[in-house]
């Protein structure tokens, strides 16, 4: 079995998050076991990630048909700490943990309003060319946008 | 960034799969980037995992209101190798990679009909008590059911 | 072909809505045609309907395992007036249009922030007994809760 | 309240279906009430409708970026006759009920393997120009494709 090895020190890791986006568990997102279905956190991750990208001035280009790049998910994972239930309000925290040439490692943390962590996650996002499907390097400006939110003490 | 470190040797790993379940990409599972949305493989994983459980005689108890246990996902991850598109047929391979006391590490591989791997994944499933929410040990019989499909050479 | 015959006079009909719940179109809710997939408005309807029920003091009983009733959808329809796109903010208006013995006819209207109607809908909700699966009459108190929001001029 | 007025004579109506597409209820498609969530039949309708279009030689053009048209849903409705549960196999029957200039009225019927009807539905599909967003007339060939499956006695 594997552990969430992307978290070295949970206290330090938690502190590095600035941005969050609130979600509320929809009825249609529960399953017959009476709780949030395990596939839904990835929907929350995508929603919060996009809001994070918007908050740092990105995203616009990727949804514009005229532009030459989109972003894709290269890998994605979620660690479930607690069962989540209908109508719960969660804040989905997002941060850029490290930046590659054309990729960025995004970390996620879902917290109840009372502060309890329900699930965490991470995943690599890659900017690719629509034409070639290959990685398309970030501009320096983009890197700086991510940097603003990155814990520089590491 | 992380790599899919649950695959030591891709050739050996691939060989260990017996069971698979076919899916076809629904139109509603695509997104505005024109491909399969990144949240959908987890739906396929769940569907194929349940069919795998059924194939080895499990699952029935967990969906029975009278029984005392359910299974939950403790963690889940997916590595995307290739973009997948509307109407593609994929076989979702499933195997039990290793067994704990009340948990099992399930591996996944999605293959096109022509044999190309589109995405892989893994995740821990835990049997819990409905009452306590805590891990509920497998019976020996259950362990044997998983074993049938497990690579014993490891 | 059919028309949305549940709207006699669009101006009068529009005026009768009090309650609304805001949603924002998720990326995962778009499809490869670049717009909101046609199955998603029903998710918005459910979410807004439940918030409406909560606003008039209902819903609590139906999600309580100890209670004897749940609500089910008997029929549901949506009329699409305009294409909707990623990241759009919509207000989903909800009203109880008429009340039966154990059922209620709920109407829906999705509006852009600028006031444009994107889609409308309606559907019958029935309170049923968990045990028999049959209609379970509203109490007078429940009827009054719905009434508050109902256009009494009809 | 409204009745499913698109069915005049249920026996005659049922007989007019030729095409069907099988689906199986996914675990993730259930909700905490223990049954199929009310939003899912519309996903089945879309999947079966597209398979129907493919069966009569259509669909290819609409998913081709070079072509000038797509199809959109103008309205959609579902009448729920019976609760549906996890793992049930349903056949989703599809027929073109009547053809307009650039639209077609599609009818749906979901049947259990034992023959019981679980839900029915209908909805208008319109072919539109990607550029103008306006209705784009069927060719005669397209009309004939639909006709093959249409109840000619009407």
Q: What is the mean pLDDT of residues A98-106?
A: 96
Percent of chain C with pLDDT over 90: 86
pLDDT exceeds 90 at position D114: no
Among candidate residues B69, B66, B42, the one with its CA nearest the CA of residue B58: B69
- A45 → chain B, closest CA residue: B39
Measured from the Cβ of residue D117, the count of other Cβ atoms closer than 10 Å reads 16
- Asked whether residue A5 is domain-assigned, the answer is no
- Asked whether residue A153 is domain-assigned, the answer is no
pLDDT averaged over every residue in chain C: 92
pLDDT confidence bin for D115, thresholds 50/70/90: confident
pLDDT of residue C65: 86
- Using the Cα atoms of residue B126, residue B129, residue B130 and residue B134 in order, give the sign of their dihedral: negative
User: Quick check: helix, strand or coil at residue C77?
Assistant: strand
C31 close to B (CB below 8 A): yes
Contacting chains of B (3 CB pairs or more, <8 Å) are: A, C, D
Task: Give me the sheet containing C117-129, strands edge to edge.
Answer: C19-24, C89-99, C103-112, C117-129, C69-80, D69-80, D117-129, D103-112, D89-99, D19-24
pLDDT of residue B3: 61
pLDDT of residue C52: 96
C42 close to B (CB below 8 A): no
- A27 → chain D, closest CA residue: D31
pLDDT exceeds 80 at position B154: no
pLDDT exceeds 90 at position D69: yes
- Asked whether residue A61 is domain-assigned, the answer is yes
Q: Please enumerate in sequence order all residues whose Cβ is within 8 A of that of D9, keeping only pairs 6 or more positions apart, or say none.
A: none
C117 close to A (CB below 8 A): no
- Asked whether residue B154 is domain-assigned, the answer is no
C97 close to D (CB below 8 A): no
pLDDT exceeds 50 at position D151: no
Selecting from D74, D80, D105 the residue whose C-beta is nearest the C-beta of C73 gives D80
Q: What is the mean pLDDT of residues C114-142?
A: 95
D1 close to C (CB below 8 A): yes
Q: What is the mean pLDDT of residues A76-99?
A: 97
CA distance A50 to A3: 26
Among candidate residues C24, C21, C3, C1, the one with its CA nearest the CA of residue C109: C21
- B42 → chain A, closest CA residue: A39
- Using the Cα atoms of residue B62, residue B66, residue B67 and residue B70 in order, give the sign of their dihedral: positive
CATH of the domain at C32: 3.10.129.10
pLDDT of residue D41: 98
Contact D4 C75 (CB under 8 A): yes
- B40 → chain A, closest CA residue: A39
pTM for this one? Answer: 0.95
Selecting from D1, D72, D100 the residue whose C-beta is nearest the C-beta of C124 gives D1
- Asked whether residue D2 is domain-assigned, the answer is no
D34 close to A (CB below 8 A): yes
pLDDT averaged over every residue in chain D: 92
pLDDT exceeds 90 at position A49: yes
- C42 → chain D, closest CA residue: D39
Contact A80 B74 (CB under 8 A): yes
Q: What is the mean pLDDT of residues B32-41?
A: 97
What distance in Å separates residue D36's CA from the closest CA in chain A?
Answer: 9
- Asked whether residue A3 is domain-assigned, the answer is no
- Asked whether residue D5 is domain-assigned, the answer is no
C27 close to B (CB below 8 A): yes
- Asked whether residue A151 is domain-assigned, the answer is no
Contacting chains of A (3 CB pairs or more, <8 Å) are: B, C, D
Residue with the bigger pLDDT between D47 and A3: it is D47
Q: Which long-range contacts (CB under 8 A, 24 or more apart) does A3-6 make?
A: A4/A77, A4/A79, A4/A120, A4/B75, A6/A97, A6/A107, A6/A122, A6/B2
State the total domains in chain B. Answer: 1
User: In this structure, what token pair is assigned to residue A106?
Assistant: 């995004």
B51-89 pLDDT, tens per residue?
Answer: 999 999 999 989 988 899 999 999 999 999 999 999 999
Query: What distances in angstroms separate CA D68 from CA A50, D74, D129, one per listed residue?
Result: 30, 19, 6
Give the ipTM of the model, two decimals please.
0.93
DSSP for D29-93, written as a single string: GB-TTSSB-TTTHHHHHHHHHHHHHHHTT-STGGG-TTSSEEEEEEEEEEEE-S---TT-EEEEE
Using a CB-CB cut-off of 8 Å, the residues of chain B touching D26 are 43, 46-47
Q: Domain containing D37: what range?
A: 10-146
pLDDT averaged over every residue in chain B: 92
Q: What is the mean pLDDT of residues A122-146?
A: 95
Q: Are C149 and C95 within 8 A, CB to CB? A: yes
CA distance B49 to A63: 34
Beta-sheet pairing, B89-99 with A19-24: unpaired
């Amino acid at each position: 079995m594997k552990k969430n090895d992307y978290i070295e020190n949970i206290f330090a890791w938690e502190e590095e998050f600035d941005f969050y986006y609130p979600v509320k568990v929809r009825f249609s997102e529960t399953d017959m076991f009476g709780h949030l279905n395990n596939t839904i956190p990835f929907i929350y991750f995508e929603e919060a990630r996009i809001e994070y990208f918007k908050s740092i001035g990105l995203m616009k280009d990727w949804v514009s048909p005229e532009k030459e790049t989109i972003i894709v998910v290269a890998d994605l994972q979620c660690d479930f700490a607690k069962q989540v239930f209908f109508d719960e309000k969660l804040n989905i925290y997002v941060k850029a943990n490290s930046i590659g040439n054309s990729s960025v490692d995004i970390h996620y943390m879902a917290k109840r309003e009372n502060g309890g962590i329900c699930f965490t996650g991470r995943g690599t996002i890659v900017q690719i060319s629509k034409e070639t499907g290959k990685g398309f390097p970030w501009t320096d400006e983009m890197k700086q946008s991510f940097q603003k939110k990155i814990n520089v003490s590491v």
